[in-house]
């Protein structure tokens, strides 16, 4: 057999078993010809050539890539913890160039149509007056927001972003089965999916001429920047997210950082003077355009849902005044009503003068008598959907007789709230399941952006497939798989980068993406938690070393050192009584269980794990700030945390994990130094880190060498301190064999050139604090602000410190009193400086309440 013949034999094999499994229309296989559709030929040839297990290996590889990039989907409303990595099926859905031409023309038309409906229903409402839409269809929909009436410019495109869910029917045509019009999600996942696919399926991607996605995002950016064309050339765009608890938070962060917009939550914004402002580290910055991922009704607790904590009071008023543009405008969820479907062809004809190009799933609106009769007669064959999101859809085929009757009564009590929809038996596409290529039902989400008066369609999209062969319904909440969509091009695309050409940017102002106060605060805490975790890790390591020394030699001096380290650890973690107090002696006898608890108790915020969890949480809250490689390191920490949580606690594995965690933390600090621009966020992160390190080192010194001890013990403690702080070799280089309290104090407390010393931390804090923006309130150029002043005071105390007095032990109390004074000042002043910073930069909004409305009473 020739190589070619062998290959087509392999393809035939693949096809035969696949073809048998397929029923109904299949995207790839043509049963009559016993061959793939032409546009699948190249891909299927390639796939049939792969060795067994290779596809599965690539699936795992893509999962790893997505996980490392933090592509997650929160399954429940729990940040982290319940995240699910986006699961990718490495076999893309192929769409031919001819087919796509039809689909995209149809999508554009539908977007134009929905845009018209949006402008009309919040404007003149001709559609109702002229009888093209029944009033109840609009007036009973929860998404018809009366406060938004007359807030849209009826002369301008208003539907700016649009996503449609498509499925191919048995007739081979694409049908629209759902519209996403208020805050469509998924485009970011499509992009991330594509970037993973071009790595794991690089050759296959090259062999096919696949449309690139970047032009779409460039058009999206251009569209947004142009929204204020009459007022501003370079508008300030932000992406409004409900926050890290939202199921698609990853995507919000990803898109914000891909597009270069600030990611904000509701209380980062406030309305003043009828304009929207963002609270940033350098004061209020006006916001011109809001890309929102918050649902309509949650956006403004004054005029819309009063119980919303996610919105901005006064936002709708700002939009009404034309001072901010919201994409999509508030009120646009009305267009998601499936009840519009049966009316679209007529509206298309009357308004656009066109036949509708893409059919919608056959839908009957029960507000209409004839349609209602049809629905009630054919109930069992239909899915009953509410017109808005008040209630879930009901697949009537799954109901028994009594259930059907209840449903009938329910429909009849308010028929205008329901539609009946034909259950579309959608096409299947090749999917990888248990290392086999099998047919699975597939849905395609497509994305559009307003573009120069019309629409631009992303040439691709997000395909989701059913988890098993019987499933008809596909959501990511129940574990569907997603796959890339390869739209084939007639000719190769130009490489388009997201950014305009360099020439076009000359002259454009280069400015930092403003940092919100919230992000600033999170970064500061990332710095603090990371340094705290590092300090706890180091003491845990010292404890474990000492413990094994003691186990080996049973030397009483080792025990005394161990005791002091354990006291230090107790104070560090705040897990009292721990090794402090009456039962301490008893616990010291067999300290392993307590040490283990201080390391791994997930329920105590002070334990190592607890601290790392806080670190992860803060890092996740500013997901958009980290570079891909930095996030990879954060993800490594997460993975170790997971393995500690899952594994049996043991001292040996703990020791290994401590080493790996310390490595990750060091890599994290390194990454932030190398890849974060040295701007406000970086300053705050480092201030947090330096402040925490100062506090931790001060505490460690206090609990180990503040008190008098025998010469042997003191020697051992000082050595442990140097080892703990990675400073033993520096010390040896400088002082040779000599080691005394004064040499160690000189290096660890007073040396401003040694990055582990206390004085060094204080000097760094003072330098960093000076670089923070000083705009608010206006201060005289020569005077220092509160935190600068207090840190300067502290730094001066270090400069004036007298080494001889620091080491001196008070005969009566047995305490180094001067050292005590210095350490107390470190703790007091650093804490105070932290308070000043918090007040100045992290604006804390007080909680919002509804004013109790006045009740009407007749006396």
Partner 1 sequence: MNYRIRHTTRYQYPDVVSHCFNEARMSPLTAHGQQCVRSRFVIHPTPDYTSQREDYFGNQVTSFHILQPHRELTVTVYSDVHVDDLSQPLLFMKDTPWEAVRDQLAASLDSALLSVREFVLPSELAPLLEDVRAYALLSFLPGRPLLEAVKDLNKRIFTDFKYDPASTTISTPLADVLAQRAGVCQDFAHLAIACVRSVGLPARYVSGYLETLPPPGEEKMVGADASHAWFAVHNLDDGWVAFDPTNNVQPGVQHIMLAAGRDFADVTPLKGVIFGGAQHQLSVSVDVARHSG
Residue 211 CB coordination number (10 Å) = 20
- Return the C-alpha torsion angle 297, 300, 303, 308, nearest 10: 70
Residue with smaller CB distance to partner 1, 351 or 803: 351
Residue with smaller CB distance to partner 1, 300 or 484: 300
**50: Cβ contacts below 8 Å, ≥ 6 apart:** none
Alpha helices, DSSP H, located in 280-418: 315-320, 344-347, 369-377, 401-413
Considering only 131-139, 520-528, 786-794, 807-815, which stretch makes contact with partner 1 by CB under 8 A? 131-139
Residue with smaller CB distance to partner 1, 254 or 416: 416
Shortest CB 336 distance to partner 1, Å: 19
Asked if 153 is part of the footprint of partner 1 (rule: CB under 8 A), the reply reads no
For the segment 50-79, give every residue that binds partner 1 (CB under 8 A): none
Residue with smaller CB distance to partner 1, 92 or 331: 331
**715: Cβ contacts below 8 Å, ≥ 6 apart:** 739
Asked if 412 is part of the footprint of partner 1 (rule: CB under 8 A), the reply reads no
Shortest CB 517 distance to partner 1, Å: 15
Asked if 409 is part of the footprint of partner 1 (rule: CB under 8 A), the reply reads no
Distance in angstroms (rounded) separating the CA atoms of residues 558 and 343 = 85
Shortest CB 273 distance to partner 1, Å: 6
Considering only 121-129, 153-161, 518-526, 631-639, which stretch makes contact with partner 1 by CB under 8 A? 121-129
Asked if 729 is part of the footprint of partner 1 (rule: CB under 8 A), the reply reads no
> What secondary structure does DSSP assign to 314-328, as a single string?
THHHHHHTTS-EEES
Asked if 272 is part of the footprint of partner 1 (rule: CB under 8 A), the reply reads yes
- Rounded to the nearest angstrom, the gap between the alpha carbon of residue 499 and the centroid of all alpha carbons in its chain is 23
Asked if 838 is part of the footprint of partner 1 (rule: CB under 8 A), the reply reads no
Three-class DSSP category at 72: strand
Q: 672 with 630: CB under 8 angstroms?
A: yes
Distance in angstroms (rounded) separating the CA atoms of residues 622 and 626 = 8
Shortest CB 317 distance to partner 1, Å: 5
Asked if 146 is part of the footprint of partner 1 (rule: CB under 8 A), the reply reads yes
Nearest 5°: the CA angle 297, 301, 305 is: 40
Phi/psi of residue 95, each to 5°?
A: -130, 130
128, 351, 792, 803: which one binds partner 1 (CB under 8 A): 128
Asked if 370 is part of the footprint of partner 1 (rule: CB under 8 A), the reply reads no
Residue with smaller CB distance to partner 1, 140 or 337: 140
Asked if 854 is part of the footprint of partner 1 (rule: CB under 8 A), the reply reads yes
Three-class DSSP category at 83: strand
Asked if 818 is part of the footprint of partner 1 (rule: CB under 8 A), the reply reads no
Q: 525 with 688: CB under 8 angstroms?
A: yes
Shortest CB 246 distance to partner 1, Å: 22
Residue owning tokens 């009769």: 373
What are residue 733's DSSP bridge partners?
Answer: none
Considering only 219-227, 633-641, 653-661, 841-849, which stretch makes contact with partner 1 by CB under 8 A? 841-849
**What are the E-state strand segments in 246-304?**
262-264, 269-272, 275-280, 283-287, 289-292
Nearest 5°: the CA angle 466, 469, 473 is: 35
Alpha helices, DSSP H, located in 243-343: 249-259, 315-320
414, 472, 628, 738: which one binds partner 1 (CB under 8 A): 414
Asked if 239 is part of the footprint of partner 1 (rule: CB under 8 A), the reply reads no
**60: Cβ contacts below 8 Å, ≥ 6 apart:** none
For the segment 273-302, give every residue that binds partner 1 (CB under 8 A): 273-274, 301-302
Residue with smaller CB distance to partner 1, 126 or 771: 126
Tokens of 108: 């554009």
Q: Residue 597's closest CA among 614, 568, 574?
A: 574
Shortest CB 390 distance to partner 1, Å: 12
CB contact burial 357-394 (16+ within 10 A = b; e otherwise):
bbbbbebbbbbbeebbeebbeebeebbbbbbbeeeeeb
**Residue count, binding to partner 1 (CB under 8 A):** 44
Shortest CB 161 distance to partner 1, Å: 25
Asked if 81 is part of the footprint of partner 1 (rule: CB under 8 A), the reply reads no
Lateral strand order in the sheet of 394-395: 363-365, 418-422, 382-386, 394-395
Considering only 23-31, 342-350, 411-419, 481-489, which stretch makes contact with partner 1 by CB under 8 A? 411-419
Tokens of 746: 């000189």
Considering only 286-294, 484-492, 727-735, 845-853, which stretch makes contact with partner 1 by CB under 8 A? 845-853
- Taking residues 306 to 325 in sequence order and writing x for each that binds partner 1 by CB under 8 A, - otherwise, the string is x------xx--x--xx----
Asked if 303 is part of the footprint of partner 1 (rule: CB under 8 A), the reply reads yes
Distance in angstroms (rounded) separating the CA atoms of residues 630 and 842 = 24
Distance in angstroms (rounded) separating the CA atoms of residues 762 and 825 = 12
DSSP 360: B
Residue with smaller CB distance to partner 1, 79 or 147: 147
Distance in angstroms (rounded) separating the CA atoms of residues 105 and 358 = 9
Q: 287 with 236: CB under 8 angstroms?
A: yes
Residue with smaller CB distance to partner 1, 128 or 792: 128
Asked if 390 is part of the footprint of partner 1 (rule: CB under 8 A), the reply reads no
Asked if 131 is part of the footprint of partner 1 (rule: CB under 8 A), the reply reads yes
Question: Which strand (E) or helix (H) includes residue 90?
Answer: strand 88-95
Q: Residue 708's closest CA among 757, 743, 741?
A: 741
What angle, 0 to 180 degrees and rounded to 10, lies between the N-to-C axes of helices 817-841 and 517-553?
Answer: 150
Residue with smaller CB distance to partner 1, 317 or 493: 317
Residue with smaller CB distance to partner 1, 149 or 639: 149
Residue with smaller CB distance to partner 1, 136 or 751: 136
What are residue 729's DSSP bridge partners?
Answer: none
Asked if 271 is part of the footprint of partner 1 (rule: CB under 8 A), the reply reads yes
Tokens of 252: 């919000």
Distance in angstroms (rounded) separating the CA atoms of residues 267 and 243 = 11
Considering only 182-190, 412-420, 658-666, 785-793, which stretch makes contact with partner 1 by CB under 8 A? 412-420
Asked if 368 is part of the footprint of partner 1 (rule: CB under 8 A), the reply reads no
Shortest CB 851 distance to partner 1, Å: 4
Asked if 857 is part of the footprint of partner 1 (rule: CB under 8 A), the reply reads yes
Considering only 182-190, 272-280, 342-350, 384-392, which stretch makes contact with partner 1 by CB under 8 A? 272-280
Considering only 133-141, 217-225, 386-394, 663-671, which stretch makes contact with partner 1 by CB under 8 A? 133-141
Shortest CB 147 distance to partner 1, Å: 7
Residue with smaller CB distance to partner 1, 202 or 414: 414
Asked if 136 is part of the footprint of partner 1 (rule: CB under 8 A), the reply reads yes
For the segment 512-551, give every residue that binds partner 1 (CB under 8 A): none
Asked if 845 is part of the footprint of partner 1 (rule: CB under 8 A), the reply reads yes
DSSP 163: E
Three-class DSSP category at 204: helix
What are residue 167's DSSP bridge partners?
Answer: 175
503, 590, 783, 856: which one binds partner 1 (CB under 8 A): 856
Residue with smaller CB distance to partner 1, 73 or 277: 277
Asked if 149 is part of the footprint of partner 1 (rule: CB under 8 A), the reply reads yes
Residue with smaller CB distance to partner 1, 135 or 178: 135
List contacts with partner 1 (CB under 8 A): 125, 128-131, 135-136, 139-140, 146-147, 149-150, 271-274, 301-303, 306, 313-314, 317, 320-321, 413-414, 416, 845-859
């Amino acid at each position: 057999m020739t190589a070619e013949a062998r290959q087509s034999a392999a393809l035939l094999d693949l096809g035969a078993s696949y073809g048998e499994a397929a029923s109904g229309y299949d995207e790839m296989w043509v049963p009559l010809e016993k061959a793939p559709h032409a546009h699948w030929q190249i891909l299927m040839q390639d796939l049939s050539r792969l060795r067994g297990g290779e596809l599965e290996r690539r699936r795992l590889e893509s999962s790893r890539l997505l996980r490392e990039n933090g592509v997650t989907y929160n399954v429940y409303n729990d940040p982290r913890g319940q995240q699910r990595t986006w699961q990718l099926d490495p076999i893309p859905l192929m769409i031919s160039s001819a087919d796509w031409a039809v689909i995209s023309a149809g999508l554009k038309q539908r977007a134009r149509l929905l845009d018209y409906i949006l402008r009309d229903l919040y404007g003149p409402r001709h559609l109702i007056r002229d009888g093209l839409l029944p009033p109840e269809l609009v007036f009973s929909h929860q998404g018809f927001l009366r406060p938004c009436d007359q807030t849209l410019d009826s002369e301008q495109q208003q539907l700016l972003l649009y996503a449609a869910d498509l499925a191919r029917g048995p007739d081979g045509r694409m049908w629209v089965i759902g519209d996403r019009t208020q805050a469509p999600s998924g485009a970011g996942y499509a992009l991330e999916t594509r970037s993973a696919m071009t790595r794991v399926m690089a050759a296959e991607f090259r062999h096919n001429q696949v449309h690139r996605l970047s032009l779409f995002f460039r058009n999206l950016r251009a569209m947004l920047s142009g929204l204020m064309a009459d007022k501003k050339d370079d508008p300030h765009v932000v992406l409004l997210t409900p926050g890290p608890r939202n199921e698609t938070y990853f995507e919000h962060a990803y898109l914000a950082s891909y597009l270069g917009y600030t990611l904000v939550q509701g209380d980062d914004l406030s309305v003043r003077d009828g304009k929207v402002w963002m609270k940033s580290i350098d004061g209020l910055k006006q916001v011109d355009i809001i890309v929102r991922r918050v649902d309509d009704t949650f956006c403004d607790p004054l005029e819309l849902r009063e119980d919303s904590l996610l919105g901005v009071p006064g936002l709708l008023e700002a939009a009404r005044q034309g001072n901010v543009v919201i994409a999509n405008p508030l009120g646009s969820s009305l267009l998601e009503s499936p009840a519009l479907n049966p009316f679209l062809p007529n509206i298309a004809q009357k308004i656009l003068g066109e036949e509708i190009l893409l059919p919608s799933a056959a839908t009957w609106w029960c507000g209409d008598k004839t349609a209602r009769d049809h629905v009630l007669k054919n109930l069992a064959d239909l899915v009953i959907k509410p017109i808005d999101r008040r209630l879930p859809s009901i697949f009537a085929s799954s109901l028994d007789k009594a259930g059907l009757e209840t449903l009938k009564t329910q429909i009849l009590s308010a028929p205008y709230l329901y539609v009946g929809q034909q259950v579309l038996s959608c096409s299947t596409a090749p999917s990888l399941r248990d290392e086999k290529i099998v047919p699975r039902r597939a849905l395609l989400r497509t994305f559009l952006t307003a573009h120069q008066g019309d629409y631009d369609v992303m040439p691709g999209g997000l395909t989701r497939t059913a988890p098993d062969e019987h499933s008809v319904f596909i959501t990511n909440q129940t574990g569907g798989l997603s796959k890339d969509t390869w739209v084939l091009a007639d000719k190769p695309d130009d490489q388009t980068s997201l950014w305009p050409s360099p020439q076009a940017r000359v002259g454009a102002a280069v400015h930092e993406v403003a940092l919100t106060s919230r992000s600033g605060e999170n970064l500061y805490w990332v710095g603090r938690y990371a340094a705290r975790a590092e300090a706890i890790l180091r003491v845990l390591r010292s404890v474990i070393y000492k413990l094994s020394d003691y186990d080996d030699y049973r030397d009483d001096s080792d025990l005394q050192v161990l005791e002091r380290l354990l006291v230090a650890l107790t104070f560090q973690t705040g897990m009292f009584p721990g090794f402090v107090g009456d039962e301490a002696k008893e616990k010291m006898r067999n300290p392993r269980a307590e040490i283990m608890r201080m390391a791994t108790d997930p329920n105590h915020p002070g334990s190592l794990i607890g601290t790392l969890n806080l670190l992860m949480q803060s890092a996740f809250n500013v997901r958009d700030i980290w570079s891909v490689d930095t996030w990879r390191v954060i993800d490594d920490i997460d993975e170790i945390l997971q393995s500690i949580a899952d594994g049996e606690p043991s001292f040996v594995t703990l020791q290994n994990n401590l080493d790996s965690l310390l490595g990750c933390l060091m890599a994290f600090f390194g990454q932030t130094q190398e890849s974060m621009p040295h701007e406000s966020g970086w300053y705050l992160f480092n201030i947090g880190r330096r402040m925490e390190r100062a506090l931790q080192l001060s505490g460690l010194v206090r609990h180990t060498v503040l008190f008098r001890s025998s010469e042997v013990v003191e020697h051992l403690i000082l050595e442990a301190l140097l080892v703990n702080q990675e400073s033993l070799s520096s010390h040896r280089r400088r002082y040779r064999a000599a080691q005394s309290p004064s040499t160690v104090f000189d290096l660890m407390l007073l040396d401003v050139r040694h990055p582990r010393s206390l004085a060094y931390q204080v000097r760094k804090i003072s330098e960093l604090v000076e670089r923070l923006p000083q705009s608010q309130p206006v201060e005289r150029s020569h005077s220092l602000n509160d935190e600068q002043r207090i840190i300067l005071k502290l730094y001066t105390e270090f400069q004036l410190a007298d080494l001889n007095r620091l080491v001196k032990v008070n005969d009566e109390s047995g305490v180094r009193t001067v050292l005590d004074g210095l350490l107390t000042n470190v703790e007091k002043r650093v804490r105070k400086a932290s308070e000043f910073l918090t007040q100045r930069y992290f604006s804390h909004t007080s909680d919002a309440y509804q004013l109790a409305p006045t009740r009407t009473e007749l006396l």
